[in-house]
Each structure stands twice: as structure tokens, then as C-alpha cells.
Amino acid sequence: MQNIIFIAPPAAGKGTQSEKLVSKYGYTHISTGDLLREEIKKGSELGIEIKALIDKGNLVPDEIVTKMLKNKLANIKGNFILDGYPRVYNQAEILNTIFDELNIGKDEVVAIYLDLDETTATKRALGRLTCSKCGRGYHSSIEELMPKNEFTCDVCNIELTKREDDNEETFKIRFNTYLKETAPLLEYYKEKGILEIVDSNKSTKEVFETIEQILTGDRLNG
Ligand SMILES: [Zn+2]
């Protein structure tokens, strides 16, 4: 199986697809956010430095993220999914250097882009519901994620709430910023010949089947 670089706008279902790949094929899921949190938790020198940056509201510089990512990839057994990195062109080049240094070949990696219409994305994002007590996520219009009783947590039996940043206007800005930032990334992976585009307007199941076809080399349209 190939390693996966996941590129997906908000609400494209990247989290759900990653979970399915982890449980069915044993992928290791790597997100740079998790790496940063792990390092802080370890209380290492680097972790303390990272925490200080975040506490001051600063972004963690690329060189720190790169260092951690390289370390993680060097010690990983089996295949991995990269989630949320690279996000911009410059990071794709950095990642390419890391792959070279670790002898991870081009044919061992596929960049999967979950393509989603703005209308579908907005509808999905605005339907997201969360239980403030247990943190379970639901959705008001995706059948497999609907609560048993409308607007109530199946477990806690309390009213579900909407995420604060999921209002239409802010979502559209987030969505379009993402598309603008990632366009050069897609170009980069297309030129390398490792880009696969998946129509993510379809159901979770159909999207997963397409991803499986890519990974097994059975995809028809290539
Ligand atoms: Zn609950």
C-alpha cells in the first residue's frame, strides 16, 4: 500500500476517511497538530519552546514542524497518512526533501485530493452538531450521523449545539481561503504524477471505495 498525503477543504470528510483507513489497513495517522501537542506533553526542551510560542499566539515555525515530522517519519513502521501537511507550496517542497532524505520514493506516495463543491461543503458544515457534555459529533442532514432524536445526544440526552465557527459567512471564507492556498499544491503533485482527485460530494462509503481503488491500483479513470 502507498503512503497518503491527504489534501481536502473543510467538511470534505478527511477525518472520517482517515479513521476508516487506519482501522481497515493499519495506517498510522500523522497530523502536525498532534505532533506539536505530543511534544508539549512530553515536556521536552522543544516542547517547552513550542508551548511558549503558542501561548504568545505565535505560529510554530516551519523548521520546528519539519524537524518533528522528519523524526516521526523516520521511526514509523508501516504506511502513513499525512493530514494537514503540506498545506502550502513551500511545505510540499520541504516534505519532498524529507522523503528524499528518508529514501521514500515517489511511487510509494499518493496525494489524494478530496474535491468538494462549495454548496455541498457549506451544507455539511452548517449541519454539524456537537454534544457539549461528551463531545460526540452528529449531523442534521447526513443520515449515518444523525442523532436518534432530533437535536439530542443519543448518550447524554441533552440538547446538541452548533460549532461557533460554523456559520455560513465564516465557513465560506475558510473554504475559499483553503482552495486558494492549496491550488499550487495540487499543481505540484500533478506535475509529479502522483495526484488523485476524488469526488467528495458523494457518500462517505463511495468516497472510501474510490480511495481503496486508488490504493489497490484498480481505479479505472486514473
Ligand atoms: Zn453526549
Interatomic CA distance for residues 35 and 106, integer angstroms:
24
Q: How far is the CA of 37 from the centre of ligand 1 (A)?
A: 25
Per-residue pLDDT for 166 more than 70? no
Q: Which tens digit of pLDDT belongs to each residue from 101-119?
A: 999 998 999 999 999 999 9
Per-residue pLDDT for 221 more than 60? no
Q: How far is the CA of 167 from the centre of ligand 1 (A)?
A: 22
Q: How far is the CA of 138 from the centre of ligand 1 (A)?
A: 10
Q: How far is the CA of 206 from the centre of ligand 1 (A)?
A: 28
The C-alpha angle 34, 38, 42, rounded to 5 degrees, equals 175
DSSP secondary structure string, 82-138?
EES---SHHHHHHHHHHHHHTT--GGGEEEEEEE--HHHHHHHHHTEEE-TTT--EE
Q: Which residues of 107-132 are buried (b: 16+ CB within 10 A; e: fewer)?
A: eebbbbbbebeeeebbbbbbbbbbbe
Q: How far is the CA of 91 from the centre of ligand 1 (A)?
A: 38
- Residue 4, exposed/middle/buried by CB under 10 A (0-12, 13-18, 19+)? buried
Residues 6+ apart with CB under 8 A from 84: 6, 31, 32, 33
Q: Are 207 and 13 in contact (CB under 8 A)?
A: yes
Could you confirm whether 37 is annotated as catalytic? no
For 152, the enclosing helix (H) or strand (E) is none
Interatomic CA distance for residues 83 and 76, integer angstroms:
15
Q: Which of 37, 67, 72, 174 is an active site residue?
A: 174
Q: How far is the CA of 162 from the centre of ligand 1 (A)?
A: 13
Could you confirm whether 174 is annotated as catalytic? yes
Nearest to 46 by CA among 28, 56, 31, 61: 61
**What's the pLDDT at 185?**
94
Mean pLDDT of the chain: 91
Domains of the chain in sequence order: 3-117+168-216 (3.40.50.300), 128-165 (no CATH)
**What's the pLDDT at 222?**
46
Cell of 2: 502507498
Q: Which of 87, 123, 136, 172 is an active site residue?
A: 87
Q: Which tens digit of pLDDT belongs to each residue from 180-212?
A: 999 999 999 999 999 999 999 999 899 999 999
Q: Which tens digit of pLDDT belongs to each residue from 55-89?
A: 998 888 988 999 899 999 999 999 999 998 998 89
Cell of 66: 519539519
Could you confirm whether 163 is annotated as catalytic? yes
Q: Which of 42, 106, 133, 163 is an active site residue?
A: 163
Nearest to 1 by CA among 23, 17, 21, 29: 21
Backbone angles phi, psi at 74, to 5 degrees: -70, -25
